[in-house]
Structure 1
Amino acid sequence: MQRKSLGLMALVVIPGIFFGLVFSVILLLVPAKPAAADCGPVSVVVDGNAKVDGYTAEQLKNAAAVMGAGKALNLSVKGQTISIMVALGESGLRVLDYGDGPGPDSRGLFQQRDNGAWGSYTDRMDPTISATNFVKALQAVPGWELLEPTIAGNKVQRNADPYHYQKYWPEAVKIVQALSDGKVGVDAGSCGIPGKSGAGDDYPWKDSPTWLQVGANEASTSPLNLYYRECVDFALWRVNQQMGSTSAPFKFLNGTFRPDGQRLGSAVTWKAGWDAKGWPTGKTPRVGAVVWYAPGTGGADPTFGHVAVVKEVKDDGTYVEEGYNGNPPPDDHNYYTRTVSSSVPSAFLYLPGLEAKK
């Protein structure tokens, strides 16, 4: 069967037939099916006893106003944290009645300019109104939830340095956790897009026969031109889904993904496919990124390698990946999740918007 599959590589390629058998014994990988991250909006609890080390009552009151504005607009906890991060980076969570050199007319928590886009002077000096206007602008950024927090904030603020806000993220997380009405887990990439990364097994062809069930010569392929229920087909489905292509005709296909006309192919070629397309890659897991295992890496098949998708990022140096064909028979060619050390994969393949600072 292995020799037979090798002959089909030019068509769609069989990725990782023995991957699950090997992968399951690697000690660095811990099988897991964790609960979904708490990514929804959180309410704010602030009273006279609320304290966060390093912040005054006035700053916490302003933070509560920012979070409350986000909650009113059904902004996710990640979005609320981005809002706090930006306010920290712009004003230190203070309502400033002055600007700076590049923006002398900037005012308020978000240092919003007097250009008509942010309302009146009174609006910009009002924590709730200014935060509401920031949140609306953030929600208008296409795919903002897929972006690195500092990049998402910069899409609204247009700071000269897109990574200006990055150093404020840990403090923003601390404030949101302290002021929320329950414990929330927040990470730069811990919350998936509703109905997309993090949604679980929404692969649309989960009941289709695999090539092993019908024979390689008779096997049909998915609309993505890859064999049903293989790791590559699930990963390419996620790529399409996250890029807004959720039904046929799909935007990204095995035969049309690369601009040079070569097939995306089996898992072994995916890094080269990303490079050919000019999409970024890196060593940091981000929700929605494709996880790429070179042949033999982390227990992947020594010929074909393996691909999966980052479902959740944890703060202990691990992430949760999701995919297909990652378990031994009889559970191969089915959906799986597992917790993996971030140092195990060969690379993470990012979609546009999942920028990684070089």
Structure 2
Amino acid sequence: MSQRKSLGLVALIAIPGLFLGLIFTMLLLLAPAKPAVATCGSAVSVVIDADTKVEGYTGEQLKNAAAIMGAGKALDLSVKGQMISVMVSLGESGLRVLDYGDGPGPDSRGLFQQRDNGAWGSYADRMDPAISATNFINALQKVEGWELLEPTIAGNKVQRNADPYHYQKYWPEAVKLVQALSDGQFVLEGSDCAIPGQSGAGDDYPWKDSPTWMQVGTNDASTSPLNFYYRECVDFALWRVNQQMGSAGEPFKFLNGTFRPDGQRLGSAVTWKTGWDTKGWPTGNTPRVGAVVWYAPGAGGADPTFGHVAVVKEVKDDGTYVEEGYNGNPPPDDHNYYTRIVSSDVPSAFLYLPTQEEKK
């Protein structure tokens, strides 16, 4: 009897809970959904009015940026694509509808300096912000794998301008504008939408005043947040990798102990090519700004045991490049920042980031 009463009591308690659960579920379904935070793979809508201000830009420029973003939204273009479109217009016209061209393209017109070759519509089309942006975006979406390319490379494949890296310096401003003119927040993580690192910015290594292991001895030496000894070539190179992959502060995305997917440490310079191969990142023989320069042991005067790594700061037209790094000079100038001009055939390989292509 007491057992049946107990079961009945449980039933009486459970049934109201069931009804309450159903009501709560219905309320959740009927309640307005919170706007989702956008990612690089989704498009954002434009919000702009007479009071919208972005430092450094006129109302005309903001309206043109908004027209580009609106054209992207209409074509379901991702946030990254909207940024690329704004970036290219910044690099071509400064977000202005120009009624003139330049030396290489005297017939170029509009926001994207589109040529009078039949590919970009009529003169009126090229001078119309929305139509010219739509035509640019349609061409961008036809580029195979454009979303995996570095933004300036993707833009170049549409515009076919002489310098594939012409647009690179406009990317941070494009990110800022799309953020300012969008209808909500979106995620800027990883390499997809992150502002590229400042390769070639000079000695911005954060731990340049930290003691080296040679100064204090290995028993007392500390490691940087990247888990390499301070002011070693590998620490500087991995700092640049983190920067370019959108990770310029702690917690850093790539560490000595977590870079390789097989759990092994990235290690000294001698193992970096293997580390890249294990991670599945590309390598090649052509210098590319921001790529890691890899010297096998003894190559190009590198240490005969550990080799050396550095970073490409600038690529020249004569087959040379400017290299930057740490600990590339003999004492007493070791463990300091250096730059030097190197022939492209001296290093053993160039180690690229996932979105980098070899410069043709």
What is the alpha-carbon distance in structure 2 between the residues aligned to residue 251 and residue 280 of structure 1?
A: 19
The corresponding residue for 2:72 is none
Aligned to 1:116: none
Compute the RMSD of aligned alpha carbons: 3.6
Question: Which amino acid letter does the alignment assign opposite residue 61 of structure 1?
Answer: D
CA distance in 2, matches of 1:49, 1:256: 50
Between the aligned partners of 2:123 and 2:93, the Cα distance in structure 1 is 26
TM-score by length of 2: 0.57
SS in 1 for 2:239: helix
| Equivalent position amino acid for 2:209 in 1 | D
Q: Which digits, 9 at most, give the CA deviation of each residue in 1:32-79, with x for residues without a partner?
A: xxxxxxxx95879x9999755xxxxxx5131xx35xx36xxxxxxxxx
Distance in 1 of aligned mates of 2:227 and 2:353 = 20
Q: Does the 8 Å contact 1:189/1:313 carry over to 2?
A: no
Partner in structure 2 of residue 302 of structure 1? 304
Supply the distance in 1 between the matched residues of 2:355 and 2:204 (Cα, whole angstroms): 23
Q: 2:332 matched to which residue of 1?
A: 330
Contact 1:198-1:312 within 8 A present in 2 as well: yes
Instruction: Determine helix, strand or coil for the equivalent of 1:292.
Output: strand
SS at match of 2:293: strand
Residue in 2 that maps onto 1:108: 120
1:60 to 95, 106, 114: 106
Q: 1:47 to 1:261 in 2, by over 3 A?
A: closer
What is the aligned length? 237
Contact preservation (8 Å) 2:152, 2:167: no
Residue in 2 that maps onto 1:254: 256
Question: In 1, are the aligned partners of 2:116 and 2:123 still within 8 Å (CA)?
Answer: no
SS in 2 for 1:60: coil
Deviation at 1:246, TM superposition (A): 1.1
Aligned to 1:288: 290
What does residue 179 of structure 1 align with?
none
Cα distance change, pair 51–262 in 1 and its aligned pair in 2 (3 A): closer
Unaligned runs of 5+ in 2: 1-89, 141-145, 170-194
Secondary structure at the counterpart of residue 313 of structure 2: strand
Residue of structure 2 in register with 1:126 after alignment: 127
**Structure 1's 310 and 47: CA in aligned 2 closer, same or farther, altered over 3 A?**
same
| SS in structure 2 at match of 1:336 | strand
Checking the alignment, whether the CA contact within 8 Å between 2:324 and 2:338 is kept in structure 1 is yes
- Summarize the alignment of residues 1-358 of structure 1 with structure 2, pairs less than 5 Å apart: 52=104, 59-62=105-108, 65=109, 69=111, 93-94=115-116, 96=118, 108=120, 124-126=125-127, 130-131=131-132, 146=150, 149=153, 151-153=154-156, 168=160, 172-173=161-162, 186=163, 188=165, 196-356=198-358
Alignment CA distance shift 1:299-1:148 (3 Å)? farther
Q: TM-score, normalised by structure 1?
A: 0.57
For residue 355 of structure 1, report the CA deviation from its aligned partner.
2.6
Superposed displacement of residue 336, structure 1: 0.7
**What secondary structure does 2:254 align onto?**
coil
Counterpart-to-counterpart distance in 1, 2:322 and 2:232: 19
Residue pair 2:313, 2:322 contacting (<8 A) in 1 also: yes
SS in 2 for 1:61: coil
* Structure with greater contact order relative to length (CA < 8 Å, sep ≥ 6): 1
Change in 2 beyond 3 A, CA 1:188/1:343: farther
Q: Residue 51 and residue 198 in structure 1: after superposition, are their counterparts in 2 closer, same or farther (change >3 A)?
A: closer
* Contact residue 189 and residue 312 of structure 1 kept, 8 A: no
3-state DSSP of counterpart to 1:212? helix
Tell me how far apart the structure 2 counterparts of residues 288 and 323 of structure 1 sit (CA, whole Å). 11
**Offset of residue 328 of structure 1:** 1.6
Q: Is the 8 A contact 2:224 2:230 kept in 1?
A: yes
Amino acid at match of 2:211: P
Partners of 1:133 and 1:48 in 2: CA distance:
20
Structure 1 residues 282 and 219: alpha-carbon distance in aligned structure 2, compared to 1, 3 A threshold: same
Q: Give the Cα separation in 1 of the matches to 2:312 and 2:207.
A: 20
**What does the per-residue CA deviation read over 1:247-288, in whole Å, with 9 as the maximum and x for residues that have no partner?**
111110000100001100000000000000000000011111
